[in-house]
């Protein structure tokens, strides 16, 4: 329900402000007689400068003649001058700013005369966000997980695979230890492609067990039909409770066998270090860095949750709707890789709800953290934008991206600036807090 939240006045305007959810604002403005009279005189002069009246230079004709020949233009100019000045004065008084020019609806002029004016203007405003008080924030420390031998061996194994020599296998079927290139198609109604020319390592630690059972024993060119199963060891597009088995056809496109290089100085030098011992040290350092980054991400998650909870604000409906639509399209694109069109339609309400939630978090954090970034001189550089663009396009799953391939360049830049601002401001807040206590 609408409520008048404030009134303000000066010598030029008296404004009553009504605010609704979604940053919708109404300025109900009363303009005094001296303002409308001054605007009327100014309107005549403005029109006089633009029109030609026989016997007079532009701007030199008597006011009476201007009104006689061009009264409709004077009336229109008068109306615009009164509205524009009243609105600007009201904005300056209330510090409530339009989201952008197009968010201002056509003014409703209830009355306009030499005795005064009554003007109503509706618009969508910039969010009015609270100041962040970090004394209200606290962090729970998280222990950094130690680097395991399994992690070290996997990292080394991946490096060896990258530098391996590959031999095509055509004289036998798939067996454990091979690398296979697969096409996987859903044979639902309607059918759809899940992946094409996708590479898999036939190893219990690196391939879902249900998929491994299906491909073992197949030769190049052969296919097999089966049903997908949920395997919690591997990233999934949906939670286990929402997972629906899919009937699929798997075609083996190729079988390859790697010849792994030995872990020696030669391999180390390919990786940019001098010795195998240094290579192992670098791998451990990299894994340590990843473990520390995980701790920092958790601290940042804590800050985000507290910011959203402790510093609420109203958000513009237009921005929320635009962001929700972008997030919905990206979620659908991501799900198209693993779900049929029918399955996606069944989840449409859930997809829209998740996208709406993501939109609220993104818009809320950006407007809340932008003043913090300005206050603490947190800059967004071209290098930051390029790094974030790379992360969006090549590191994040499509359903988590904030940009789209067909988005205009200005739109892409705005989204990247927002993401960098959010991430750098959150990191700065974390740096100001002592894990284990608030900043008090």
Say if residues 94 and 37 touch (Cβ distance below 8 Å). no
The span from the CA of 382 to the CA of 310, in Å, is 32
Q: Kindly report, residue by residue over 185-240, the tens digit of the pLDDT.
A: 988 777 888 889 999 999 998 899 999 999 999 999 999 999 999 888 776 656 66
| Residues in a beta bridge with 224 | 250
Please say whether the dihedral angle defined by the alpha carbons of residues 79, 84, 90 and 93, taken in this order, is positive or negative: negative
The span from the CA of 434 to the CA of 365, in Å, is 22
Say if residues 13 and 93 touch (Cβ distance below 8 Å). yes
pLDDT averaged per 10 residues in sequence order, the chain, 440 residues = 78 95 95 96 92 84 87 94 96 95 92 96 95 94 91 94 94 95 88 88 92 96 93 70 84 95 96 96 96 94 97 95 95 82 86 95 97 96 96 90 91 96 96 68
**Would you list the domain boundaries of the chain?**
3-124, 165-259, 290-432
Predicted model pTM: 0.79
The span from the CA of 301 to the CA of 429, in Å, is 12
pLDDT for res 334:
87
Q: For 438, which DSSP code? A: B
Q: What fold, for 3-124?
A: Alpha-Beta Plaits (3.30.70)
The span from the CA of 171 to the CA of 286, in Å, is 40
Confirm or reject CATH 3.10.50.30 for domain 165-259, answering yes or no: yes
């Amino acid at each position: 329900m609408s409520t008048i939240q404030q009134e303000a006045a000066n010598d030029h305007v008296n404004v009553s402000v009504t605010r609704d959810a979604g940053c919708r604002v109404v300025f109900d403005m009363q303009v005094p007689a001296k303002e409308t009279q001054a605007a009327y005189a100014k309107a005549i002069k403005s029109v006089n400068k633009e029109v030609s009246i026989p016997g007079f230079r532009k701007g030199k004709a008597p006011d009476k003649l201007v009104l006689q020949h061009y009264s409709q233009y004077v009336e229109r100019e008068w109306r615009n001058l009164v509205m524009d000045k009243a609105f600007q004065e009201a904005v300056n008084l209330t510090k409530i700013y339009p989201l952008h020019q197009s968010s201002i609806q056509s003014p409703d002029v209830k009355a306009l005369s030499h005795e005064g004016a009554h003007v109503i203007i509706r618009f969508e405003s910039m969010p009015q966000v609270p100041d962040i008080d970090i004394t209200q924030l606290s962090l729970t420390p998280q222990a950094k997980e130690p680097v395991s031998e399994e992690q070290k061996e996997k990292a080394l194994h991946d490096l060896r695979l990258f530098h391996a020599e590959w031999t095509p296998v055509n004289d036998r079927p798939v067996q454990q230890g091979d690398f296979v290139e697969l096409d996987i198609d859903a044979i639902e109604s309607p059918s759809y492609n899940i992946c094409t020319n996708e590479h898999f390592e036939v190893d219990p630690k690196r391939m879902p067990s249900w998929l491994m059972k299906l491909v073992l024993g197949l030769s190049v060119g052969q296919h097999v039909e089966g049903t997908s199963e949920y395997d919690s060891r591997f990233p999934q597009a949906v939670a286990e409770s929402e997972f629906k088995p899919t009937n699929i056809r798997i075609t083996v496109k190729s079988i390859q066998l790697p010849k792994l290089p030995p872990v020696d100085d030669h391999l180390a030098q390919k990786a940019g270090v001098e010795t195998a011992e240094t290579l192992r040290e670098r791998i451990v350092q990299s894994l340590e860095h990843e473990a520390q980054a995980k701790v920092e991400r958790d601290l940042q998650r804590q800050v985000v949750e507290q910011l959203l909870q402790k510093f609420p604000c109203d958000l513009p409906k237009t921005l929320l709707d635009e962001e929700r639509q972008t997030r919905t399209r990206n979620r659908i694109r991501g799900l198209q890789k693993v779900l049929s069109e029918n399955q996606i339609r069944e989840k449409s309400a859930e997809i829209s709800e998740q996208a709406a939630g993501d939109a609220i978090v993104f818009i809320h954090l950006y407007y809340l953290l932008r003043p913090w970034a300005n206050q603490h001189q947190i800059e967004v550089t071209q290098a930051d934008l390029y790094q974030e663009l790379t992360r969006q396009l090549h590191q994040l799953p499509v359903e988590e991206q904030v940009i789209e391939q067909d988005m205009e360049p200005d739109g892409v830049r705005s989204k990247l600036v927002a993401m960098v601002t959010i991430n750098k401001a959150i990191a700065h807040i974390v740096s100001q807090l002592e894990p284990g206590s608030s900043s008090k």
